[in-house]
Amino acid sequence: MSTLDKILKLGHPKLYEISEPIVQEDIKSLNKIVEELSDILKEFKETYGAGRAMAAPQIGVMRRLIYMNITEPIILINPELFDLSDERLELWDDCMCFPNLLVRVRRHKRCKLRFLNPDWKEEIWELKDDLSELLQHEVDHLNGILATQRAIDDKSFAWR
């Protein structure tokens, strides 16, 4: 069985559920989830040539956790977006839950992200452009929202 088989596919009911916050007592149990997300993201990159981050709900773990690996592994616990810019980006979004489908969406060009790191320290990042778009997509997963629900209109879908 490929690790990619663990990714829930478009239409799975869990993808539309709101994830539960992580409490400090859960930190030790996160290692297994993070390892699984890391392995899946790595295999997805090798298979599809894309993949920068993954939210735990994409593998059916209904917790507010994002694993990102662009230049190095980063774990985002209980992330929250705020100060979203009025200026928007329009782009073709893709998702591991529907790897052959592209969806035209609008995302905020800039935003801020508040989260806890694995040492349970709060961090705040100012995001723009690609990183802003990426983490809006991942936080949407934590809130039970898929890119298909953010489509600009009914013609905003294309096969890869």
Cα angle at 147 between 145 and 151, to 5 degrees?
Answer: 115
pLDDT of residue 60: 98
pLDDT band of 27, cuts 50, 70, 90: confident
Mean local confidence (pLDDT), 10-16: 98
Taking the C-alpha atoms of residue 143 and residue 64, their distance in angstroms, rounded to an integer, is 9
- Burial class of 15 by CB neighbour count within 10 A (0 to 12, 13 to 18, 19+): buried
Mean local confidence (pLDDT), 80-97: 97
Location of structure tokens 């709060």: 122
pLDDT of residue 22: 98
Domain boundaries, the chain: 3-159
pLDDT of residue 1: 63
Which range among 23-27, 56-60, 146-150, 154-158 shows the weakest confidence by mean pLDDT? Answer: 23-27
- pLDDT tens-digit readout, 96-133: 999 999 999 999 999 999 999 999 999 999 999 999 99
Arithmetic mean of pLDDT over the chain:
96
pLDDT of residue 2: 81
Please confirm, yes or no, whether 43 is among the known catalytic residues: no
Predicted confidence (pLDDT) at residue 144 exceeds the cutoff of 70: yes
Mean local confidence (pLDDT), 50-78: 97
Token pair for residue 70? Answer: 């662009």
Percentage above 70 pLDDT, the chain: 99
pLDDT of residue 3: 87
Predicted confidence (pLDDT) at residue 65 exceeds the cutoff of 90: yes
Taking the C-alpha atoms of residue 89 and residue 1, their distance in angstroms, rounded to an integer, is 38
Taking the C-alpha atoms of residue 82 and residue 102, their distance in angstroms, rounded to an integer, is 26
Give the fold, CATH level 3, of 3-159.
Answer: Peptide Deformylase (3.90.45)
CB 132 within 8 A of CB 107: yes
